[in-house]
Amino acid sequence: MDNLWNLQDIDKKVSNSPNLILEEQARYFEKTIKGVLYAKIINTRLKSNDDVQEYKLATSFNIVSPELDNYTYTLFTVYSNPEANYPVAISVNNNEDYIDIDYTCNNETEFIRDLSKILSSDKVTDIIEVLYSKSKNF
């Protein structure tokens, strides 16, 4: 029997999904930081009673310092549905008591635009610089 799946070139077709964009940014970060810190992306299934009802998956973008006993700081969280790339919501609030959506992205262009705002922000730059300096001095 012939292969009935329409999955030829699947890696190429999914190369611009939000999670792969985050993984690519994690690689750029680690290359720039030269191993002092690293990025860790964690997917978590949301329970039905969570604050963001329309989304089923939370993807946290974390910065980890091995030299500070694996101290982990969550830069932002992307909320999505496992079966669709968009829309996604992004929260830069690092509060575990509630979820505050800062950006909603309906396509790849909006996601990259908003992700760029977050990653190049003064707040994120300051956090990375402090973690880097404290980690490098040990």
Could you read off the pLDDT tens digit of each residue along the chain, which spans 138 residues? 888 788 788 777 777 899 999 999 999 999 999 889 999 999 999 887 655 578 999 999 999 999 999 999 999 999 999 999 999 999 997 666 667 889 999 999 999 999 999 999 999 999 999 999 999 865
pLDDT score for 42: 96
Task: Give start and end residues of each alpha helix (H) in 1-138.
Answer: 10-13, 18-33, 108-119, 122-136
**DSSP 3-state percent helix, strand, coil across the chain (nearest 5):** 35, 30, 35
Name the burial class of residue 34, with classes exposed (0-12), middle (13-18) and buried (19+) by CB atoms within 10 angstroms of its CB.
Answer: exposed
Q: What is the pTM of this model?
A: 0.87
